[in-house]
Amino acid sequence: MLTFSLLALVAFALLSGALLGVLIGAAGLTVLWFEFNGNFSVLGNASWNLFNSFTFTAVPAFILLGEILGQSGLAKRIYGAISPGFERLPGKLLQTNIGACTVFSAISGSSTATAAVVGSIAYDELKDRGYDRSAIVGTIAAGGTLGILIPPSIALIVYGAWQNVSVGALFLAGVVPGLLLTGLFMVYIAVLAKLRPKAVPPAREVMPLARALAKSAEAWPFLILVFAILGTIFLGLATPTEAAALGVVTAIVLAALYREFSLARLWAALMATARTFSTLALVILGALILSQAVALTGLPRVLIELVGEAGLPAPAVITLIYLLYLVLGCFFGPLEMLLITLPFVFPLVTGLGYDPVWFGIVLVIVIEIGLLTPPLGINLFVVMAVSRNEISLGQAALACLPYWLLMLAALALITIVPQIALMLPQAAGFG
């Protein structure tokens, strides 16, 4: 009955377009009704404990921070400040897109927000300069995925708060893998510029180095924001929630100093945050209901026992889990994938002896890959919107394919060498 109920409801949602949060919540309620005679009393404390969690409060704050960056002129100012430095590299302003995405990933915590902000600034500018349109959207979509890996990360906050894993350890663990992906993307762009010279227009006048360095100093608002968010966390001065709130206040003050923000823009950012978080909260509530139902059935324990009886080695199980997420990435968004699967996957992975901090990082990477996977790859639709549909879904997906493969390679490397993710948390005394 349990399996039939879940599969029937999933099939109904995919065919009808029902709200995912309603679907998975209904699946959990169905299990409780048929398997436990309608015992819904377990849901009250679990829902209250998660939504009343101090750590979880950071999620709407980071969403608001991303909206403020988009509404104000801070994002454009920072992009213009860092551009001269990247123009000296093979690939020129295509490299700037990756650099800018890395910068905004260290502020916003959201892949979609990162891709949308950088795309809105960069697409028209680079197109007018003669850059290949597919190359432009490839860098924006792929660079945007860094938003949920490089700290702060909304996905890592949700993962840590729900599974009782230290968010501070997760943030530290995401630094090196995030920079590794940034480096791989930039190397690919340099190779692309050599193999396809037409993708990059002939160089205009390159700003002298001294002037480029002086221009980069205009990025000081970014340094203040990074310290307000990540600096205070890593120095032990603030929790992720306190740092998120400090980041919001800092962003508002900086935008006001530049006279590029107003009460109307703040109101628009607040309304956008309310819409985004309301949608996310519905999914989280549904996932929480399903999680409690699954826990009561003992299904995670059964899965662990089945794996043990099958005699599959732990690396084979992890590989199968990766394949599962690659398939799910074709149909679900990143947080939806995380919320639907964690009740089943987390106990299985930790039961096999894997480090929960390491698993949080590889989970985010494999979820990132889904952001570039059609038909539902969210970042593909973001760059299509930024290009005003000058680029089709197929063209965007093809442009992202090399980055997709590089992310798979990084996933394999971090799986083989877990210390890539774990060395910073361990050096800081976590676990």
The DSSP letter of residue 238 is S
10 Å CB burial of residue 96 (0-12, 13-18, 19+) is: buried
In degrees and rounded to multiples of 5, residue 265 shows phi and psi of: -70, -40
Confidence bin at 358 (pLDDT 50/70/90): very high
Taking only the tens place, the pLDDT of each residue in 134-177 is 999 999 999 988 888 888 888 898 899 888 899 889 999 999 99
CA dist 356 and 353 (Å) reads: 9
Confidence bin at 197 (pLDDT 50/70/90): confident
- Give me the helices (H) in 217-331, please: 220-226, 232-234, 240-257, 263-297, 299-310, 314-328
Angle CA 61–63–67, to nearest 5: 115
Q: Which of 127, 100, 125, 101 is nearest to 112 (CA)?
A: 101
Q: pTM, whole model, 2 decimals?
A: 0.82
Query: C-alpha distances in angstroms, 193 versus 67, 106, 139, 369, 431?
Result: 33, 27, 13, 24, 43
Q: What pLDDT is recorded for position 423?
A: 95
Contact by Cβ (8 Å): 132, 199:
yes
pLDDT at 46 over 70: no
Contact by Cβ (8 Å): 16, 23:
no
**CA-derived radius of gyration, the chain:** 22
Q: What pLDDT is recorded for position 3?
A: 47
Q: 318: how many CB neighbours lie within 10 A of its CB? A: 18
Q: What pLDDT is recorded for position 372?
A: 87
Tokens of 107: 């502020």
Contact by Cβ (8 Å): 139, 391:
no
Sequence-distant (6+) residues with CB within 8 A of 280 are 59, 335
Chain centroid to CA 198: 32
Weakest mean pLDDT among 59-63, 195-199, 294-298: 294-298
Taking only the tens place, the pLDDT of each residue in 235-292 is 888 888 888 899 899 988 888 888 877 888 889 888 988 888 887 777 777 767 776 6
Contact by Cβ (8 Å): 143, 175:
no
Sequence-distant (6+) residues with CB within 8 A of 11 are none
CA dist 285 and 44 (Å) reads: 11
Q: Which of 103, 112, 95, 109 is nearest to 75 (CA)?
A: 103
pLDDT at 14 over 60: no
Question: What is the chain's mean pLDDT, rounded?
Answer: 81
CA dist 28 and 30 (Å) reads: 5
Determine the 3-state secondary structure of 277 from DSSP: helix
Q: What pLDDT is recorded for position 403?
A: 94
Higher-pLDDT residue of 72, 122: 122
Q: 315: how many CB neighbours lie within 10 A of its CB? A: 11
Determine the 3-state secondary structure of 293 from DSSP: helix
Taking only the tens place, the pLDDT of each residue in 380-420 is 888 888 888 888 888 989 999 999 999 999 999 999 999 99
Share of the chain above pLDDT 90, in %: 21
**Mean pLDDT highest for which of 11-20, 106-115, 277-286?**
106-115
10 Å CB burial of residue 257 (0-12, 13-18, 19+) is: exposed
Contact by Cβ (8 Å): 91, 189:
yes
Share of the chain above pLDDT 70, in %: 79
- Residue corresponding to tokens 């306190």: 242
Taking only the tens place, the pLDDT of each residue in 59-74 is 888 888 888 877 777 7
Packed helices 334-351 and 263-297: angle between N→C axes, nearest 10 degrees = 40
